[in-house]
A and B are shown apart, each in its own frame.
Chain A
Amino acid sequence: MKLTNLTALNEARAAGKSVLLFSDVERGAETLTIDGEGSGDIEITTALKEAGEKAHNEDRGRLVEIDNKRIFIQVFNPARRIVIVGAVHIAQPLVPMARLAGYAVTIVDPRGAWATPERFPDIEIDRRWPDEALEALEPDSRTAIVTLTHDPKLDDPALTVALRSDAFYIGALGGKKTAGKRVARLTEAGFGPADFARIRGPVGLDIGAISPAEIAVSIVGQITETLHRPERAAA
């Protein structure tokens, strides 16, 4: 590998870009594509481009045999994100757990009394109203959104933006009664059954979690399941 390519790769990763590295494992040639723009010694043919897109979408590298070459495709996607709405007690253990699982974590809470540095020493909190914050954060198919405030005037605006996004996971704290009222409010806002089916509530896997840390485990577990076993998560 050329040092110039490695340097370009490292800079692109640091800038949060999506990178693919194609390496000819027999000849040593390589091509780097950064956000789809390619440069290098391997010509990106249609077949190679398709294989690259598949690897990118599945977030998994692979060795392919294309055009009589053995090409190793490596995927460097930016970290998946978890946006937590509500700087509540559950969020405190959830932040380090989510980070350990590889996520970039954002907390949104406009309420100053909750969002204090004492409670959240190593993360900056987005103090905007949840709909404004979420719109600015542009949730995509690599984003999970968890609402924990238990307060409709904060959770609802967050869910409204979440449901209009491609977020791969939407979880909302609250039992059946809360969920029922939420459905009524969101129906009035124009959402339907297909939207409600996307909201995981009560949030987290059913593992009998009681303490905030246990609930955080159940949430990280459910997000993991949605990511890797979507068919089971939907059942």
Chain B
Amino acid sequence: MTDTQMLDHDDVLERAAAWKEGGDAVALATVVSTWGSSPRQVGSRLAIKGDGAFIGSVSGGCIEGAVVEEALSAIEDGNTRVLEFGVTDEMAWEVGLACGGEISIFVERLD
């Protein structure tokens, strides 16, 4: 029989829905395009809660802080955003990623 266990290690969307249903303000940030050696592929995402807690990933860790900040702004004003990041060699080195790369991230509030 085919097993039905959760294959996707990332249940960010399940968690986002649960947070929202539980009364928290929630935003989603999703990688929409990448160029060069970006560490995470299109469709990688973060769910961010009103208190700044988040799960998932959109990079190896170097831009999550900035994305969370923008997500909290989106929770405030309800506007969507497209963020563009260049992952510089220096930044990439600091967090142990492949060098170079650019990444665009779509941020939206869950309503």
Contact = CB atoms under 8 A, between A and B. Distances in A.
Contacts of A105: 2-3
Interface stretch (B25-33, B49-57, B63-71, B94-102): B25-33
A147 interface: no
Contacts of B3: 99, 104-106, 122-124
Contact of B42 (A26, A62, A99, A123): A62
B30 A74 contact: yes
Contacts, number: 78
B43 A63 contact: no
Contacts of A104: 2-4, 7
B104 A63 contact: yes
A7 interface: yes
B21 A3 contact: yes
B16 to A, nearest CB: 7
Interface string B64-83: 00000000000000011010
Contacts of A23: 106, 108
Interface size class of A (residues with CB under 8 A): 35 or more
Judged by DSSP, the binding face of B is mixed
Nearest to B74: A28
A25 B32 CA distance: 10
Contacts of B7: 79, 99, 102-104
A112 B111 CA distance: 53
A83 B42 CA distance: 28
Interface string A113-135: 00000000011111000000000
Given A62-B42, A99-B7, A123-B3, A25 B17 contact: no
A72 B32 contact: yes
A27 interface: yes
A2 interface: yes
A189 B42 CA distance: 45
A125 B1 contact: yes
A72 B8 CA distance: 21
B20 interface: yes
A10 B2 contact: no
Contacts of A227: none
Contact of A10 (B1, B14, B110, B111): B14
A107 to B, nearest CB: 9
11 contacts: A3-B20, A3-B110, A10-B14, A10-B17, A61-B42, A61-B43, A63-B104, A75-B43, A103-B7, A105-B2, A106-B1
The 3 nearest A-B residue pairs measured at CB: A124-B1, A28-B80, A63-B32
